[in-house]
Structure 1
């Protein structure tokens, strides 16, 4: 809440902040009134202080954990415990924090946010969260994932699973990290077994990427159990699709040029409600010596984005070549032909630019060399028509095209979620925190369980007609706040009142969807 002094009186506004281009900015303001007006709106006299806090995201995630009976399930795995705060409660708090405020220290989040008022039984402190999580042995981690997965599957009708590799899972900061270049002490990837319906994690296999011990893609997916394998273009070469069964993946567009020249009329729309602007050609082609089902998709959104990116790339290249030509003509560039060729190669490096941009040199001696560049407009048109917006999927499944696309995009959604949950570098609770194997495993479990809860929420929002990423969903929910008014003591404990903020229709729909039914 912020106050603005106008004409000797202070007027209060509810301000919501967010990062814009990496910097904190006030993005919305709501007028609340003067202190007198606020006091009249709330019985009990004028408050001594007022504080705004986000509420909706914490309440929604906590309601989801309660729906999964998370605390009891984890405590059943842990067995008898002497600690006042059980492992189930501690892990639930860690997951709640990771899902809603991953960039905020957990003690600060607990002291200033809404979690302390929602968690029941009430927990007095979270100072010992990491010490408690060190009780997570590999066996307990596996059993916790199993019991939470069982709870998720009780909610779903479709129990089909996908195996997905997320190599950019997290970077764990080195102890006493002071320079950004020295912060990435351990690079980790994770193999995941997720639901086909919603890409909700059911199990994980964490591995290191920086010490040469990372498993092969095929070995990793074999460890995850029965599931349909999801792979991207870069992983296709590691797999023998001629002998493999149960997969959905993408192939290089250049592998099947005959499909790229098919007219747009050959493609059909794919579920306009779920995939606006997506069309597909469902056909067959020979892949690794076997005739397989292939689906050529075209996304209008992706096409527009790739066209803009290529236009920028081409403009930069032509600007640099024009600068080089000008320097050669003015005599300020005295390099020989080999040096000029090297500069041209640097500017036009990239398969797409080389297709459309050529540079012709005349003259042989330094000072006499001239450059003329040409853009092949017909090649630009072919590139735009044949490549932009397209993706080539291959599968041995007989699912509808929409389900194949959904399965393939599971990895993209998970990568986006983990970028939000783990950030550029995961730091420990103290400056000299050493990321041991056990601590990395515990953090991995917390992040995977946070993804489990938030992807379950995303699935439910999608089924309610709200197609949002996890980040977009949580940002919408975080915009549902409350004003905490604290009144001076009149002899007893100071009284606190809470006023909910106004909600727009989208926020109200989400609040209704996730509100706790206690």
Structure 2
């Protein structure tokens, strides 16, 4: 231990010495403080921090670890072909930011996260700004953006030759403000069967006359993907598609159009996979769809059933209260509203999904002062609704060789993708938008979705069944606390520690190797 005299006070250092080139040299030293500091430490009473700062760590470090493992920065730089422009660095920053703090600006997020401590190469705070990102990416051409996405897809390591093609017409809404004219954007994407990881995609403006139809867009994306593609569509989209066009498909049908299938008893269904799909049963049969005998799978989810029953009960209660209030008003007060106006009001109240099946309203009288309202709840119809509709989905496919679980997995990929896009984009995206910026923003969203879906798949394979939102929420709970101590004559001292982790957070900490990024 050696002491150094500073401004009349002595401060002590713990040093290690060794011979270097034959001469004794100090090879390491650790600041201990003044004699009072050392005495306080010996008495187990250390200095109290002057203040603390909390930084985002777990989610930021996990996403960055994934980006480093994928070597995303050099892959993007090589695909862009711009030697002196750090395109890869800024796309990596944009993905990291979008995954962990999509509702904030780049500078705000950077200041509140631990990223500056481990992101390499080091970046100054002035370099991490939205304006700088748009400056770096402003000259990228559509072909360069396409090559960037293809390069990242190659790094994802998704070996399954069979991929899924989905179309999401409500991908994002772009506007300068919530009162300005908006641009509605959709997206067609090819994703993996396992994890719904986007590989290639094409964003488009809804309502434009030159919008490429879903089937044509899928053909183009399939050529970029260089593999077999199965079309996945939602209820309503099947009417726009030719199921005999040659593309394999998995899609949803309106259950109400097939009452005979809905009438099958629960005993006809079998559990799908208790581990992958707890509470899900299915009936695997055939029916005539679009003029041909096709394979259909009727599923019933206990979780969906409970959610729909709860939502319906709330809607029915609201409609009943409104009708009762209207009936009391008609009976207590002289009514001057014409009959047609009241009928329109009643129709508005009952015209809610499924409510009009069980709740009927009868308006008697002809003159305004004589009009009275009676309503009736059909309990038998309510029971049929609960038995025949709640919790059920009807899927159709020409993949006759796929197990039921694979058919359901393929269809649900669309919802996993849509759910993540909503998390990353919100209800609408505010900013100054043109065609180029929308294309770049769309690519960042797709790349972020690919990275986070890859992380979710890794967690799932490790036994952690989490959605992307749940995964990032768990990781964001691992924070970094910076403790700043006041100066005792030298530099102010800083200590960094991580917050306490629960069992799930510790498993994720180990899974993504966060110890390498910890302070």
TM-score per shorter chain, which class? 0.7 to 0.9
Contact in 2 for aligned 1:48/1:486 (Cα 8 Å): yes
Cα RMSD (Å): 2.3
Contact in 2 for aligned 1:242/1:288 (Cα 8 Å): no
Aligned counterpart for 2:190 among listed residues 183, 187, 193: 193
SS in 2 for 1:194: strand
Aligned counterpart for 2:215 among listed residues 211, 214, 218: 218
Q: Cα–Cα, structure 1 residues 436 and 362, in superposed 2: closer, same or farther, change >3 Å?
A: closer
Residues 453-493 of structure 1 show CA distances to partners (whole Å, capped at 9, x for unaligned) of 00001111112222221111101100011111234567776
**Match for residue 52 of structure 1?**
54
1:443 counterpart = 2:447: no
What is the CA distance between 1:157 and its match in structure 2?
4.2
Aligned counterpart for 1:288 among listed residues 290, 293, 299: 290
Residues 195-223 of structure 1 show CA distances to partners (whole Å, capped at 9, x for unaligned) of 11100011110111254543332233233
What is the CA distance between 1:426 and its match in structure 2?
2.0
Contact in 1 for aligned 2:359/2:375 (Cα 8 Å): yes
1:397-412 alignment to 2 at 5 Å?
A: 397=399, 398-412=401-415
**Match for residue 131 of structure 1?**
135
Once residues 397 and 59 of structure 2 are traced to their aligned partners in structure 1, the CA distance between those partners, rounded to angstroms, is 37
**Match for residue 30 of structure 1?**
none
Contact in 2 for aligned 1:242/1:287 (Cα 8 Å): no
Stretches of structure 2 lacking an aligned partner (at least 5 in a row): 1-36, 223-227
SS in 2 for 1:283: strand
**Match for residue 479 of structure 2?**
481
1:272-351 alignment to 2 at 5 Å?
A: 272-350=274-352
1:202-241 alignment to 2 at 5 Å?
A: 202-225=199-222, 226-241=228-243
SS in 2 for 1:144: helix
Q: Cα–Cα, structure 1 residues 132 and 491, in superposed 2: closer, same or farther, change >3 Å?
A: farther
Once residues 48 and 364 of structure 1 are traced to their aligned partners in structure 2, the CA distance between those partners, rounded to angstroms, is 79
Once residues 89 and 459 of structure 2 are traced to their aligned partners in structure 1, the CA distance between those partners, rounded to angstroms, is 26
SS in 2 for 1:181: coil
TM-score when scaled to structure 2?
0.85
Q: Cα–Cα, structure 1 residues 239 and 78, in superposed 2: closer, same or farther, change >3 Å?
A: closer
What is the CA distance between 1:366 and its match in structure 2?
2.5
* Residues matched between the structures, number: 467
Stretches of structure 1 lacking an aligned partner (at least 5 in a row): 1-35
TM-score when scaled to structure 1?
0.85
Residues 366-425 of structure 1 show CA distances to partners (whole Å, capped at 9, x for unaligned) of 222222211111111001100010000011112211111111111111111111111223
Once residues 164 and 192 of structure 1 are traced to their aligned partners in structure 2, the CA distance between those partners, rounded to angstroms, is 6
1:74 counterpart = 2:71: no
Contact in 1 for aligned 2:253/2:396 (Cα 8 Å): yes
1:103 counterpart = 2:100: no
**Match for residue 247 of structure 1?**
249
SS in 1 for 2:331: helix
Q: Cα–Cα, structure 1 residues 373 and 47, in superposed 2: closer, same or farther, change >3 Å?
A: closer
Contact in 1 for aligned 2:80/2:145 (Cα 8 Å): no
